[in-house]
Amino acid sequence: MHKKSNKIIIVMFITFLMSINILNILTPDRKFSEVENRVLVQLPNLKWKNLISGKFTKEFEEYTTDQFVFRDFWVGIKSDMERLTLKSENKGIFFGKKGYLLEDYKKPDEGLEENVKSVNVFSKKLPNVSTYLMLAPNSVKVYEDKLPLFASPYDQLKTIKFVKENLNKDIEFIDTYDKLSSKKNEYIYFKTDHHWTMRGAYYAYQALAKQLEIKPHSIEDFYTKTVTDTFYGTFYSKASNMHISPDSIEIFQPKTDITYEVCYADDNKCTNTLYELKHLDTKDKYSVFLDGNHALVTIKTSIKNNKKIAIFKDSYSHCFIPFLANHYEEIHVIDLRYYKLNVYEYIKNHDIKESLFLYNVATFSTDENIKFLK
């Protein structure tokens, strides 16, 4: 009887393995994982030199891992097992209290110093342009009280202090930590994503307005609307935790009759809105703000005050810029990850007199594209 049951188990196991292999062969390869929010490895080309060097073997292993049948299901099972074992972190993402996912922040290396030097070079080359730098703390700093036991990310306030102390004196630093920390009981950061919410960006806009000597609009000057409550962001994709509640996305529309012309240079298209609602039907719902990442975006408003500003940025700026657009005739948004032309000539040619560097602390600490300013 015992031998018979062993044979049944062996047959079932072999059948399972054969079925999985057959399904792996018959199932079409996927190009993108919605759950992990990343492009999946495709079948590598079989070349003799790659086979000899071992490169093909490595790439094929990555391919089979990414294209394994029911991959999203197995990723979910792995996540469930990790939570059952009380694991508090996965792939650099902490499982925080009240459903918050928080990204670990490591002590910056010399890349941070190089980025500060690059901004200093920028201000020296354009002495007639008022330069501002805003560093937004990440949720891991503002929501320290939600970190799991024994989590010890590097203190972002030390990074902010280093930047402030090493900036040229003619660059104005915009400190947003105190303002955001005082509002942390509000919904100012997403739980499943690395960005702040538009409400969080609003409070940062209030802090910046004082330095720019503009009167910020009160929150009552905007219509607010929740456009989705099914947003799963980058932390969710990275940590693969399948039992986290989704985020909601809120947008602010001014109650005034201001109009916009928003042009995306790399797509050669223009629109009259700061919000691209089509992205609400995709995984990357945060791209509802300014259509996601672009090399160069120009925003011309119906305001006639001859005020122009250039914004060098990461994606934290996308839900921030709609507030600033209510004060400028023109905003020129430059992403140094993609824009490789001469920024100094661009600013001079467009007669821009103000510039803002707007980055979150984690990105500014590691972004290797800011150095091209030098």
Per-residue pLDDT of 35-66, as tens digits, reads 555 566 576 666 666 666 666 566 556 656 65
pTM of the model: 0.81
Question: Which among 337, 284, 280 has a CA at the least distance from the CA of 36?
Answer: 284
280 pLDDT higher than 70: yes
Q: What number is the average pLDDT over the span 84-88?
A: 61
Q: In the sheet that 89-90 helps form, which strands lie side by side, from edge to edge? A: 89-90, 93-95, 101-103
pLDDT at 71 exceeding the cut of 90? no
Tell me the C-alpha distance between 355 and 172, whole Å: 11
Domain boundaries, the chain: 2-68, 99-373
CA distance 81 to 103: 21
- b/e 205-221 (16+ beta carbons within 10 angstroms → b): bbbbbeebeeebbeeee
Q: How many CA atoms lie within 13 A of 207 on its CB side?
A: 24
Q: How does residue 347 score in pLDDT terms, banded at 50, 70 and 90?
A: very high
| Virtual torsion, Cα 155, 116, 300, 212, nearest 10 deg | 70
Mean pLDDT of 307-335: 98
pLDDT of residue 12: 62
* Residue 173: both structure tokens together: 């630093």
Q: Does pLDDT of 1 surpass 70?
A: no
CA distance 46 to 55: 10
pLDDT at 173: 97
Q: What is the mean pLDDT of residues 183-190?
A: 97
Supply the DSSP string of 89-136, one letter for each residue: EETTEEE-GGG-EEE--PPP-HHHHHHHHHHHHHHHH-TTSEEEEEEE
- Write the pLDDT tens digit of every residue in 130-164: 999 999 999 999 999 999 998 999 999 999 999 99
Judge whether residue 85 has pLDDT over 70. Answer: no
Q: Which pairing describes strands 296-301 and 330-334: parallel, antiparallel, or unpaired?
A: antiparallel
Give the pLDDT band (50/70/90) at residue 89.
confident
Confidence of residue 243 (pLDDT cuts 50, 70, 90): confident
DSSP code, position 285: G
Say which range, 55-69, 102-116, 258-272, has the weakest mean pLDDT.
55-69
Q: What is the pLDDT of residues 192-232, one digit of tens each?
A: 999 999 999 999 999 999 889 899 999 999 999 999 999 99
DSSP readout, 317-329? GGGTHHHHTTT-S
- Three-class SS of residue 298? strand
- Mean pLDDT for all residues in the chain: 87
**pLDDT at 329 (0 to 100):** 98
